[in-house]
Amino acid sequence: MADLTISQEITIELDGKSPFEYVVVKQGDKDSRILSVSLLQNKQPYTIPSGCTARIKYFKPDGKP
């Protein structure tokens, strides 16, 4: 069976309000997804400053991170 790669592009406004974008994954999907995230601040593209690191907060359906 061929390897399957799923790509998804999402845009996140940094105002902290919902709705957030959801990325649906399944157990065992290791190394099969590519996620491209564009950040907006005041509806303008936002670039992460040099020396800073972006982090993603996620939760599984059972509520655990």
pLDDT in tens, the chain (65 residues): 456 788 888 888 888 776 667 777 777 777 788 888 899 999 899 999 999 988 877 777 788 87
Q: Could you tell me the pTM of the whole model? A: 0.66
Question: Rounded to an integer, what distance in angstroms lies between the CA atom of residue 39 and that of residue 64?
Answer: 25
pLDDT at 44 (0 to 100): 94
Of 18, 15, 14, give the one whose Cα is nearest residue 37: 14
pLDDT at 23 (0 to 100): 79
Contact call for residues 23 and 10 (beta carbons, < 8 A): yes
